[in-house]
Structure 1
Amino acid sequence: MITERVHELLSEINQSVIENKEQLEAFRMRFISKKGVVSELFDHLKNVAPEDRRSVGQELNVLKNRVQERFQEFNTQLEESAASSQTSAVDMTLPAVPNQHGSLHPLTIVRRRIIEIFERMGFNVADGPEIETDWYNFSALNFPDNHPAREMQDTFFVRKSNGEVKDDVLLRTHTSNVQVRLMEHKKPPIRSIMPGRVFRNEAISARAHCVFHQVEGLYVDTNVSFKDLKDTLYHFAKEMFDKDSRIRLRPSYFPFTEPSAEIDVSCFICKGSGCNVCKYSGWVEIAGSGMVDPNVLANCGIDPEEYTGFAFGMGIERITMLRYGIRDLRLFTENDVRFLKQFEGA
């Protein structure tokens, strides 16, 4: 009886056709599940005469294996059919999706351009630590002990693990610390620029930020004059902005230079007519500069009787705002993709 039923089921299984998942599930329930016909036949094996139980059991195992094979075949066919239908659903007449090109950050573009201009004038690039000591950030640069820049409202000081402020360790407020390190360890002539990130405790606005980027320059040699400084910055302005750019020098004061001057460039945005970036003056301050103070040279082990030098420092954000007509400095740190995409391919 069981043998005849096995042959009937084998014939049914071999002739089965499965076209969808529902039919496959019905096949599984009928033949493979615990309540399926194959399981029922195994339950009846105990009623078979002992001398026939071995041969009947082998036939049931053949049936069980055949069911599993057919189920796997049907399942594979359905998966391949589904994959094929998905592939064929693609409309080959649609236009191709263009490659999405990334873009450099505008500050990176301008930083590289600044480096390129000064390298052509013979300056090399130097770098230094962002966490600095008071000596390299202030004292060696001729800052008096009571200078406002040393106050906590202007400078980020590093705290100890117990919360106590370490007065001699801070986040650098300018890249002048690299100038000191260069003069300490290298003999003149020195001609270098120092681009990098700096930190000041300032309120964030359209014109200021607590984290920004500077590039400073230093030239120390015999017979370096203020005219060399003026010619260097004038050439830079013409290369960076426009050949018709003008600069002006205003007397100023910095502890580390004497004499000192603020460098203004004619506003690249409004062409001198006045806007919020130039405070409606037609001029934008781009740099502080001057002749290196003899005390600074002496602090760094350079004889001020033999050598002279000039130094300058400018904000990369300010240069970028002028170059691209950007009116709000905060855009550089907000990571707005709509803003950054404007510099694609620049």
Structure 2
Amino acid sequence: MTLVDDLMNLKKSAVTAIKNHQEDMEELRVHYLGRKGELTGLLKQMKNVDPEDRKAVGQVGNDVRETITSLIAEQQEALNKLALDRKIASEKIDVTLPGAQPLQGQPHVLQQIMDEIENHFLGLGFQVIDDPQDSPEVETDEYNFERENLPKDHPARDMQDTFYITPEILLRTQTSPVQSRVLEKHDFSKGPLKMIAPGKVYRRDTDDATHSHQFHQVEGLVVGKNITMADLKGTLLSIMQELFGEKHQIRLRPSYFPFTEPSVEVDVSWDPVTPETKPEDIKWIEVLGAGMTHPNVLKMDGVDPDEYSAFAFGLGPDRFAMLKYGVDDIRQFYLNDVRFLEQFNKKGE
């Protein structure tokens, strides 16, 4: 009988023994595959095989080893499962099994947009001011309107009609008061001020597809020496391309705001713009307002407008989310319908 025959007989007997074995498989593994096992003993006879036949015999030996190893692993797994099933059946509670995992939540889509905006401006060296001490939602008339160059008889106040608690205390209509609170404490000997102020704001609006009495705003302010409109445009272009894509462009149109001079409306291109795109083919949509901070605003916050200049802008995360994801009704963000909100799961779960 040849060595190949011996190997094949070993394989046959091992398969039968393993399948019929109902206890731990370690004993059989040592018996067949250990250093003093049967397969090891047969393979030691390879030295007596003709050199030209050793390769073929070696392949048979490897096949036998792999078959026995694989079968032992499968049988051991089956025995482990059987033992676990018996244990579960005998116990009312198996505390070793993993418990039911609760569903994992996710940031609201508006919070996701605000996080994107904040992370981008942090990368540009801005501070994020959202501490309740500097960013109260219940504000004074002075900070909400008068510090923003909107005296009590200014007609522009009508556009920001809000909820009053007393004649001098109200729910803020913008996060601009945060800029004033931070600016009046800023030490310019330590450098310019670069900040954004995210948060909720309130206006007495009739809720419809594009308006809400409560919404979110992120206002930005940069104050320093020699700040220009070019700095403003570059900053706004960077955040627009962060949110909508690098091939989108912006344009500035003259406008009016009491707290900036000059003031601009900012449009972003609806589609990506390439070198081949003709200017007349670009479709624009208005997304925010901005401008160079009015000298009166700087003066009221204790800053000399002859020495320092500034730009400011206001972003609407709600509006950005509608544009970015094609949402046609702002009220969807506030209905807490999980079927709607789970569409914006960034993890894809």
The TM-score bracket by the shorter chain reads 0.5 to 0.7
Contact 2:113 2:317 in 1 (8 A): yes
Name the counterpart of 2:176. 176
Specify which structure has the bigger relative contact order, considering alpha-carbon pairs within 8 angstroms and separated by 6 or more residues. 1
Aligned length: 241
Name the counterpart of 1:338. 339
Contact 1:267 1:322 in 2 (8 A): no
Name the counterpart of 1:108. 111
Name the counterpart of 1:227. 230
The whole-number CA distance in structure 2 between the counterparts of 1:340 and 1:232 is 30
Name the counterpart of 1:146. 153
Name the counterpart of 1:129. 136
Query: Structure 2 vs 1, CA of residues 155 and 99 (structure 1 numbering), >3 Å: closer, same or farther?
Result: closer
1:149 deviates by 4.8
**Mapping 1:1-346, distance limit 5 Å:** 100-127=103-130, 128-151=135-158, 154-158=161-165, 166-188=166-188, 189-267=192-270, 282-346=283-347
Contact 1:137 1:176 in 2 (8 A): yes
The whole-number CA distance in structure 2 between the counterparts of 1:85 and 1:320 is 55
Question: What letter corresponds to residue 341 of structure 1 in structure 2?
Answer: E
Contact 2:160 2:173 in 1 (8 A): no
The whole-number CA distance in structure 2 between the counterparts of 1:131 and 1:98 is 40
Larger Rg: 1
Structure 2: gaps spanning 5 or more residues: 1-87, 94-98, 274-281
Bigger Cα displacement from structure 2, 302-311 vs 283-292: 283-292
Query: Deviations along 1:21-80, whole A, 9 cap, x unmatched?
Result: xxxxxxxxxxxxxxxxxxxxxxxxxxxxxxxxxxxxxxxxxxxxxxxxxxxxxxxxxxxx
SS at 2:151's partner residue?
coil
The whole-number CA distance in structure 2 between the counterparts of 1:332 and 1:213 is 11
The whole-number CA distance in structure 2 between the counterparts of 1:179 and 1:190 is 10
Contact 1:104 1:343 in 2 (8 A): no
1:152 deviates by 9.9
Name the counterpart of 2:70. none
Identical-residue share of aligned pairs (%) = 48
The whole-number CA distance in structure 1 between the counterparts of 2:113 and 2:160 is 30
Structure 1: gaps spanning 5 or more residues: 1-82, 89-95, 159-165, 273-280
Contact 1:206 1:330 in 2 (8 A): yes
SS at 1:203's partner residue?
coil
Question: What letter corresponds to residue 123 of structure 1 in structure 2?
Answer: F
1:153 deviates by 7.9
Contact 1:103 1:340 in 2 (8 A): no
Query: Structure 2 vs 1, CA of residues 297 and 203 (structure 1 numbering), >3 Å: closer, same or farther?
Result: same
Contact 2:209 2:330 in 1 (8 A): yes
SS at 2:251's partner residue?
strand
Bigger Cα displacement from structure 2, 146-155 vs 168-177: 146-155
1:259 deviates by 0.2
Query: Structure 2 vs 1, CA of residues 239 and 311 (structure 1 numbering), >3 Å: closer, same or farther?
Result: same
The whole-number CA distance in structure 2 between the counterparts of 1:224 and 1:247 is 20
Moved over 6 A (4+): 83-88, 96-99
Question: What letter corresponds to residue 229 of structure 2 in structure 1?
Answer: F
TM-score after normalising by structure 2:
0.64
Contact 2:251 2:267 in 1 (8 A): yes
TM-score after normalising by structure 1:
0.65
1:97 deviates by 8.3
Contact 1:225 1:309 in 2 (8 A): yes
Question: What letter corresponds to residue 107 of structure 1 in structure 2?
Answer: L
